[in-house]
Amino acid sequence: MIGDFLAGVYPWTKAMHIMSVISWMAGLFYLPRLFVHHTEQVTSGEKADEIFAMMETKLLRVIMNPAMIATWIFGLMLVFTPGIVDWSMVWPWTKAAAVLIMTWFHHWLAKRRKDFIRGENSLSGKHYRMMNEVPTLLMVVIVLSVVVKF
């Protein structure tokens, strides 16, 4: 019964999943860049510090968190849609691993945001620049996994 329902809404689920992923990825690309500028351009306690903290908080809570949750919900709906995922192939496993790492990265960013709010950021702009490459690498793995289906 549930399989029939999921098969019937498959195009809608796929569309919602893609839109959710785009929103989540936008945040994962942008938040580390905000951290770079927050680290390099702002002194803790000044007005700009409050502005950056507000921007980072809103990005995380209003865009990234809901987009991550929606991505997971629609992604799991796709996983449980009959005939969509063949777990005997490699691609679903590489995609799943990359999504788990992306989720870890999301939570890592959320912890760094709390460091800024407490005035305890200890990482450099260079560190955030390097970490900003993580979502790009994961995106490459995910897209190649899903499209090429190796």
Identify the band that residue 150 occupies on the pLDDT scale cut at 50, 70 and 90: confident
User: What is the DSSP annotation of 65-128?
Assistant: HHHHHHHHHHHHHHHTSTTT--TTSSHHHHHHHHHHHHHHHHHHHHHHHHHHHHT-----HHHH
Count structural domains, the chain: 1
Domain that holds residue 110: 2-148
39-85: pLDDT as tens digits: 999 988 899 999 999 999 999 999 999 999 999 999 999 999 999 99
Residues 6+ apart with CB under 8 A from 103: 68, 72
Smallest CA-to-CA distance from 30 within 103, 106, 119, 138 is with 106
79-119: pLDDT as tens digits: 999 999 999 999 999 999 999 999 999 999 999 999 999 99
Q: Considering the entire predicted model, what is its pTM?
A: 0.94
Q: What is the DSSP letter of 132?
A: T
